[in-house]
Amino acid sequence: MTVFATHFHELTALEQNHSCAKNVHVTAIKPTGSTNLTFLYEVKPGPCLESFGIQVAEMANVPPSVIANAKRKAKELENFEYGKSTGQHKTKSSKEIIKRLKEVPLKSIPTSEGKLVALGRVLGII
């Protein structure tokens, strides 16, 4: 079993072409106008339609440069429409993403920051 956490819709679209991929998400609430984030630890089917990744990264003290790049890339990806591209295109791009993720030598990268940067580069957010 592999668990991969993301809100990048390009990756959540893998479920449509790969029977071994399943989308589930953990629910969370963020009151309007608040910076507080509360995870409810309820696992629900389907992709998460709202991302809390940047807030979690800030809570985890991820370097500001990584957070700034993530915010920039998130803004660019806001217009991606889930499930709109053709199956042929998604299959090709999902295979390429999987191939590139498998090539990241995470075990040889000693720090969590280094691992985040390496994955960010593969996903194009750094």
Give a yes or no: residue 50 inside a domain: yes
Give a yes or no: residue 2 inside a domain: no
| Residue closest to 116 by CA, chosen among 58, 76, 75, 77 | 58
In degrees and rounded to multiples of 5, residue 70 shows phi and psi of -65, -40
| pTM (predicted TM-score) | 0.45
**CA-derived radius of gyration, the chain:** 15
Averaged confidence pLDDT in the chain:
75
Give a yes or no: residue 4 inside a domain: no
- Apex 58 CA angle, 3 and 71, nearest 5: 85
Give a yes or no: residue 1 inside a domain: no
Give a yes or no: residue 68 inside a domain: yes
Residue 67 has pLDDT above 80, yes or no: yes
Give a yes or no: residue 113 inside a domain: yes
Pair 100, 121: CB distance under 8 Å: no
- Provide mean pLDDT across the span 29-44: 84
Domain count, the chain: 1
What is the band of 116 on the pLDDT scale with cuts at 50, 70, 90? confident
- Whole domain around residue 28: which residue ranges? 9-123
